[in-house]
Amino acid sequence: MAKRMALGTKGKRPGMFKQAVERLIAWSYSRWKDYEKCPAYCKFKHILRMREPDNDAMANGTIVHQLGDKHVRGVLKKFPKELGVFQQEFKVLQANNAQTEQEWAFDRAYNQVSWFSKEAWLRIKVDAHYLVQRARKAATKNRGLVQTTVTIVDYKTGKNHADHAQQRSLYALGGFVMYPDAVEVIAEHWYIDSGEIESDTFLAKDLPKLQKQWEQRTRAMLADTTFVPRPGAYCRWCAFSKVKGGPCKF
């Protein structure tokens, strides 16, 4: 059998046609958490876009977020029991005309871009946030006569985990970038199941530090082209594991 090369390959050496390098060009808190759990899991989920089967926890989280959005916007007449003991806290969101289900996206220079932009490098979803503005005694070099505080709220179903503090710091980063005149950002997690609230306050001067921290945390993930599996206890529940018929070798 005669063998020949396509006309478009004339003059090219064998091996020059290689599969495009697979890597992440944008990140979010959830992508970073998935990568920390296992690089291979992150690849299957976010690059190859393999779906995981739905479960009760995911369904419950979706319901809570949908009800929270509708209640803050005044669509629901009665407070949903699914939102637990947070009726007073949701009244505060309504009283402050909180915006809900916002999608913030930024390029590498932290300029705001559209969510689906090719320039989007960081994406942050915000369940609810509102601004409170107070008069300052005097203007300063970088701040005017109005002092703005941004409060960002994330509804959580499930357990309170210490590493959620990292997510609150990312919310603060996004808040300062979205509202450059803000003097502080209050980032909160409302744990619907337990009734707990975790709250951290960040000052405007913290922004450069937060940017540096997150750039360092995500550097390995954004440079990775191999996504080597990191086997561990999580393999027992991973939908992509070998025992569950997935593509992973573990």
Which distant-in-sequence residues (6+ apart) come within 8 Å of 167 by Cβ? 29, 154, 189
Non-local (6+) Cβ contacts of 173 within 8 A are 207, 210, 211, 214
Right CATH for 29-244 from 2.40.128, 1.10.260, 3.90.320, 1.10.3470: 3.90.320
Q: What is the pLDDT of residue 140?
A: 60
Coil, helix or strand at residue 113: strand
Q: What's the whole-number mean pLDDT along residues 213-234? A: 96
The amino acid occupying position 117 is S
Residues 42, 35 contacting (CB under 8 angstroms): yes
- pLDDT tens, residue by residue, 194-210: 999 999 999 999 999 99
pLDDT digits (tens, 9 = 90+) for 131-154: 999 876 665 655 557 799 999 999
What is the predicted pLDDT for the residue at 4?
37
- pLDDT, tens digit, 9 for 90 and up, residues 4-35: 334 344 444 444 334 455 899 999 999 999 99
In DSSP terms, 23 is beta-bridged to: none
132 closest CA partner among 185, 71, 68: 185
49: CB partners within 8 A, 6+ apart: none
β-bridge partners, 201: 186
Express as a percent the part of the chain with pLDDT over 70. 88
Q: Is the pLDDT of residue 228 over 70?
A: yes
Provide the pLDDT confidence category of residue 54 given band limits of 50, 70 and 90: confident
How do 182-191 and 146-156 pair as beta strands?
parallel
H-helix or E-strand containing 178?
A: helix 164-178
User: pLDDT at position 142, please?
Assistant: 57
**What value does the mean pLDDT take over residues 69-97?**
96
Please give the average per-residue pLDDT across 226-245, as a whole number.
93
